[in-house]
Amino acid sequence: MTEAYAAKVSFDLREGEIAVELPQRFDASLYFIGQIRTPWKRREDCPKNPREGGETVCTIVIDPRWAQGLQGLDTASHIVVLYWMDRARRDLVIQAPHHYPERRGTFALRSPVRPNPIAVSVVRLLNIRSNELSVVGLDCVDGTPLLDLKPYFASTDSVPDASVGWHAATKR
């Protein structure tokens, strides 16, 4: 772990949280292919989830190297955005997030704290101009590194009646 990384990551464990030892080596590597521009400059300013962000328009800027790859994406109404949550620690298996303080497994949560901090957000595409996309539905901090964009296919990506039992119970 680099010093820069260590400095960015908070090492405080909340009560009941469990950390594991990280593997000694990585298995694969990523390119950052662009950047997400949002009105939220600090993590604590961000909406709790995309719905809370309301109709806020954010901008996705693709590096010129990859800009040709956008060809044809303007015909999609919605896009799957993958981005890197680079300020999160990666070693927790049980966590107690601020908003849902009951302890749960990392994979039962959408928390940025996970072994591979890749976020998946579904956004509505407003337009594409050159290498910039205007979208609605992001909740990340300004400057977040972009990993991928994919067209959203309702046939395979949309499950309107899906449920998450633990989450439904918190709202009762």
Rule CB under 8 A: which of 143-172 touch its own copies? 145, 147-167
**Helix (H, G, I), strand (E, B), or coil: what is residue 79?**
strand
Residues 56-115 interacting with its own copies (rule: CB under 8 A): 62, 65-73, 75-78, 80, 82, 84, 86, 90, 93-94, 103-110, 114-115
Q: How many CB atoms lie within 10 A of CB 55?
A: 7
With beta carbons less than 8 A apart as the criterion, state whether 109 and 8 touch.
Answer: no
Nearest alpha carbon to residue 92 among 116, 67, 68, 122 = 116
CB of 74 to its own copies, least distance (A): 8
Two tokens, residue 67: 């800009």
Site string for its own copies, 2-21 (x = CB under 8 A): ----------------x-xx
CB of 55 to its own copies, least distance (A): 15
CB of 115 to its own copies, least distance (A): 5
With beta carbons less than 8 A apart as the criterion, state whether 139 and 48 touch.
Answer: yes
CB of 63 to its own copies, least distance (A): 9
